């Protein structure tokens, strides 16, 4: 470990954008302007050409869920003004915490995103046809971000002696009382230069998503032990374990995660009534409206500060608060873990290993010393300040995640929120679209109105505003919930190997309520609840 300032960034997030895709011009269609008379005609024509029916190229590509809707156009200056207004001016305000969503779900949400969607196109790339963009993840809850291509192509992820993942070891480091916490098996496996050896590089972009990835690696390893104890054959062990892991993960994502952010019971309802908007012939594709807008909802859930464990927490005794910038620093993609290279950290220090009781509802008894519980921030149009200046990007608007999302929506040719709502209303008459007055609420809404986005609203902003005014910031509103739930269910239904392929299957691994499996059950099964406290499982669940 060296004296490198903990806030200086080296690697950055920029590594996720390396390649511009080939552009293929196609038939023109009318585009819709949000505001501003001076969007270049050529750009309008290029974006307009992009809107056309899709879903024909299949798994490896992004495609359109609403191919008949016109793209929304907007000038960068207007998007930047809206992005700047989407800043949480008081990130410590407890009234903007989501009382129903523990903060662990933020990073589980990010982990899930990294399982299904990866667009490597630079923000500056000229794209004639977004439906020709490749998705570098399979659009299914198959955990390719964890398993890679499996034991064959991604052998380096696995142990030689048994079909388990390699897990890294942390380095000894002090707690707040200067008592040494020994090395623990709680880091990602890393190369000599600190780069995490994992199936998706983005899962070492911040420490909480990295520890979530580690929990899934350990989940697989525990399932292997579980199957060995049940007498499984070594020849089929890996396939059996990975299937059991995937099926429990899929069940958990639909019932624990998707239902929490949309509505309780929506999975059963859609299974009965059928999907109306996310359609594909045989294999699912990744919808641009989902990856480029709706599912970026998670960016508003991120907090500026957390209670990470008993060492990094908001109030003394502690070493420091667990700020988002420190959580970036203790990663290799955005921060300072760089192995044997000069400066930085060789591996994760032990005092940064997560205490899951602070991140998921384990019913930790009131009065537990030095303990605080983290809630996610509300689903609303406000992003925490640290996300307005991402590490690893040159200072300016491209480092502002809100601007990136809004601009990404425009270059992907996404329709306005109003057009999506109107289309959905044709099939769901009870759905009430947001009014311009509702969109204009709050300081961010005032800027939206000023720029003409109250009547023609970028889809990402619409979905967050809808969650704020219709879902009290606790859940998505009707358009967002329908879009997100249909896509997640479709991804599982379209996977011929998913748990839905076996009629009537319910989770089989040990859980608090047999036949169900929630994220808390998964962590309890892993048995690594707070390693620095020597806590493996809790009785309070």
What is the contact surface with ligand HEM in residues (CB under 6 A)? 13, 106, 109-110, 113, 117-119, 123, 206, 291, 295-296, 298-299, 301-302, 390, 401, 404, 408
Is the distance from CB of 168 to CB of 345 less than 8 angstroms?
no
Indicate the SS3 state at residue 180: strand
Find the shortest distance in angstroms from Cβ 243 to ligand HEM. Answer: 25
In the complex, least distance from residue 157 CB atom to ligand HEM, rounded to whole angstroms:
21
Residue 347 near residue 190, CB atoms below 8 Å: yes
Q: 445-459 burial by CB neighbour count: b if 16+ within 10 A, else e?
A: bebbbebbbbebbbb
Is 117 or 173 the residue whose CB approaches ligand HEM more closely? Answer: 117
Minimal distance in Å, beta carbon 208 to ligand HEM? 8
What's the min distance (Å) between Cβ of 473 and ligand HEM? 15
Nearest residue to ligand HEM, using CB? 298
Do you find a cis peptide bond into 113, omega within 30 degrees of 0? no
Of 186 and 325, CB closest to ligand HEM:
325
Dist CA 435 CA 282 (whole Å): 37
Nearer to ligand HEM, 135 or 173 (CB): 135
> Judged by CB, which is closer to ligand HEM: 163, or 473?
473
From 91, 85, 54, 55, select the one nearest 375 (Cα to Cα): 91
Task: Pick the closer one to ligand HEM by CB: 114 or 482.
Answer: 114
Q: Which two tokens mark 481?
A: 């919930």
Q: Are 49 and 128 in contact (CB under 8 A)?
A: yes
Q: What are the percentages of helix, strand and coil residues in the chain, rounded to 5?
A: 40, 10, 50
Considering the complex, state which of residue 11 and residue 299 has its C-beta at the smaller distance from ligand HEM.
299
d(CA 308, CA 17): 29
Q: Give the span between the Cα atoms of 78 and 93, in whole angstroms.
A: 28
Q: What is the DSSP string of 111-168?
A: HHHHHH------TT---S-GGGPBPSS-SSSS-HHHHTT-TTTTGGGB-SSSS-B--B
Q: State which residue, 196 or 301, has the beta carbon closest to ligand HEM.
A: 301
What is the Cα–Cα distance from 506 to 500, expressed in whole angstroms? Answer: 9
Give least dist CB 179 to ligand HEM, A.
30
| CA gap 206, 192 in Å, rounded | 19
Q: In angstroms, what is the minimal distance from the CB of 290 to ligand HEM?
A: 7
Nearer to ligand HEM, 158 or 290 (CB): 290
To ligand HEM, the closest distance from the beta carbon of 404 in angstroms equals 4
CB of 298 to ligand HEM, least distance (A): 2
* Other C-beta atoms lying within 10 Å of the C-beta of residue 318: 18
Q: How far is the CB of 427 from ligand HEM (least distance, A)?
A: 25
User: Which CB, 267 or 301, lies closer to ligand HEM?
Assistant: 301
């Amino acid at each position: 470990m060296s004296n490198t300032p903990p806030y200086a960034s080296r690697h950055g997030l920029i590594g996720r954008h390396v390649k511009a895709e080939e552009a293929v011009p196609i038939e023109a269609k009318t585009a819709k302007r949000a505001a501003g008379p001076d969007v270049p005609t050529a750009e309008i024509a290029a974006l307009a050409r992009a809107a056309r029916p899709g879903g024909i190229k299949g798994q490896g590509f992004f495609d359109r869920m609403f191919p008949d809707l016109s793209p929304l156009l907007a000038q960068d200056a207007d998007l930047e003004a809206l992005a700047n207004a989407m800043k949480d001016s008081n990130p410590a305000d407890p009234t903007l915490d989501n009382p129903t969503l523990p903060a662990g779900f933020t990073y589980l949400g990010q982990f899930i995103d990294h399982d299904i969607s990866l667009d490597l196109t630079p923000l500056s790339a000229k794209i004639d046809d977004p439906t020709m963009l490749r998705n570098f993840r399979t659009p299914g809850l198959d955990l390719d971000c964890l398993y890679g291509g499996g034991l064959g192509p991604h052998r380096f992820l696995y142990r030689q002696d048994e079909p388990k993942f390699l897990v890294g070891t942390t380095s000894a480091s002090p707690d707040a009382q200067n008592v040494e916490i020994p090395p623990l098996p709680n880091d990602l496996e890393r190369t000599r230069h600190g780069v995490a050896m994992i199936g998706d590089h983005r899962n070492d972009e911040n420490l909480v998503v990295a520890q979530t990835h580690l929990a899934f690696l350990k989940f697989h390893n525990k399932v292997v032990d579980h199957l060995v104890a049940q007498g499984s054959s070594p020849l089929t062990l890996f396939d059996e374990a990975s299937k059991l892991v995937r099926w429990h993960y899929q069940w958990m994502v639909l019932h624990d995660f998707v239902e929490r952010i949309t509505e309780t019971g929506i999975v059963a309802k859609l299974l009965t009534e059928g999907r109306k908007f996310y359609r594909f012939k045989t294999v699912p594709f990744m919808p641009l409206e989902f990856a480029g807008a709706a599912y970026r909802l998670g960016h508003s859930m991120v907090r500026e500060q957390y209670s990470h464990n008993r060492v990094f927490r908001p109030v003394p005794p502690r070493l420091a608060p667990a700020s988002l910038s420190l959580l970036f620093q203790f990663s290799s993609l955005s921060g300072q873990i760089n192995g044997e290279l000069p400066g930085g950290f060789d591996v994760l220090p032990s005092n940064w290993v997560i205490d899951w009781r602070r991140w998921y509802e384990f019913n930790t008894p009131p009065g537990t010393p030095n303990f605080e519980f983290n809630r996610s921030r509300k689903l609303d149009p406000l992003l925490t300040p640290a996300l307005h200046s991402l590490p690893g990007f040159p200072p300016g608007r491209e480092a502002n995640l809100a601007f990136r999302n809004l601009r990404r929506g425009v270059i992907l040719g996404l329709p306005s929120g109003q057009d999506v709502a109107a289309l959905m209303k044709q099939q769901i008459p009870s759905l009430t679209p947001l009014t311009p007055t509702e969109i204009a609420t709050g300081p961010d809404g005032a800027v939206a109105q000023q720029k003409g986005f109250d009547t023609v609203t970028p889809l990402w902003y619409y979905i967050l505003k809808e969650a704020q005014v219709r879902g009290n910031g606790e859940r998505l509103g009707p358009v967002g919930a329908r879009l997100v739930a249909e896509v997640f269910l479709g991804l599982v239904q379209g996977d011929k190997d998913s748990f839905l392929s076996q009629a009537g299957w319910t989770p089989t691994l040990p859980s608090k309520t047999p036949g169900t499996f929630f994220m808390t059950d998964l962590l309890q099964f892993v048995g690594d609840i707070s390693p620095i406290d020597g806590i493996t499982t809790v009785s309070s669940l």
